[in-house]
Amino acid sequence: MKFTPEHEALRQTWKTLIDREINPHVDEWEQAGAFPAHELFKKMGDAGLLGVDKPVEYGGSGLDFSYAMICSESLGLVNGGSIPMATGVQISMATPALARYGSDELRREFLAPSISGDYVACLGVSETGAGSDVASIRTTARRVGGDWVIDGGKMWTTNGAQADWMCVLANTGDGQVHKNKSLIVVPMKTPGVQIVKKLDKLGMRASDTVQTFFDGVKVPVRYTIGEPGSGFIYQMQQFQEERLWAGAGTLMGCDRIINATIEYTRERKVFGKPLLDNQVIHFRLAELKSEVEALRSLVYRACEEYLAGTDVTMLASMAKLKAGRLRREVSDACLQYWGGAGYLWDNPVARSYRDGRLGSIGGGADEVMLQIISKLMGTLPRLGNR
């Protein structure tokens, strides 16, 4: 993939903002269990970072998706996964369908302030009984006059405690499960929206994640994104961008952990010589770096094909699968070389170990990625064909 001076300038803008506005505060936010989303997103919005691939008429830069990939990759410089994940929801998870299919009125009302950083967005897809199996969601929206009345609930909602609006996937009909769903914008202050509880997670401690209930929540039908009944298709398209984002976001994060481990093992002496001089260590780090570069090639290829208009469901699923597993592998291997220091809670490798575990679960579990890949390979068994 060929990068332009504009791509490199975007990288530098992110690095400057991360060095000044994020990394000095990450430890504090981790302890607090949240970060000031409105304040930080506003700084990102002012720097033109939240809408690089969104339409110019709504405050975006009108660039292609490769610039969003630069955003994701650059966020790997953050000393933890919470802020990159929350920012990813804002840029490439809650807003792509709105930007692509929303009415002009809806985009002015919700997309423009999300790009400027005045609004925080969240995505409502997963439920307590429907995570990776999106087709089985139970939240419903029934039409009453000119309104949708929404009942149900969503789980694992990143940014939920601070969000201004949620992109909600709900059943709006009784037909086939892939054709009876719609994406609906739901302002979080609408009567009947209840934040039930903030979830206490293993990792991603600085990112607020909540469970939400909808009890007779009434929103105008004009808040529907695109065509009613097309929500499942729109969400699958959003997943392509989300999974490419996950792949790109793993690259620099793994590089950061590998580089930190090189520095530590070079300085740490055992039996009179640097730990790094042990072949088992520098060979293992060389293997891990090679795996990161292999993932980079896959992600860049998938992005190029996506820009060319190709359906990259298989490549995006492969990138997501590989990214989740590689982040776990890198964190686990590097933590071992830090010894007891790596087992301390605030150690950057320990944080990566905790945060990175989500990569094989969130946005579609590894097993779902394997199922998608197998289906596209033509090797997935068909029901009744046993």
Residues marked active site are found at 242
End-to-end CA distance of the chain: 43
Q: Under a CB-based contact definition with an 8 Å cutoff, are residues 212 and 166 in contact?
A: yes
Helix (H) or strand (E) holding 106: helix 104-106
- Cβ neighbours around 319 below 10 Å, total: 27
Question: CA 17, CA 221: separation in Å to the nearest integer?
Answer: 39
Question: CA 196, CA 40: separation in Å to the nearest integer?
Answer: 25
- Cβ neighbours around 273 below 10 Å, total: 9
Q: Hey, what are 349's tokens?
A: 């490798």
Question: CA 95, CA 114: separation in Å to the nearest integer?
Answer: 8
Q: Under a CB-based contact definition with an 8 Å cutoff, are residues 337 and 281 in contact?
A: yes
SS3 103: coil
CA–chain centroid gap for 98, Å, is 16
Question: CA 277, CA 380: separation in Å to the nearest integer?
Answer: 46
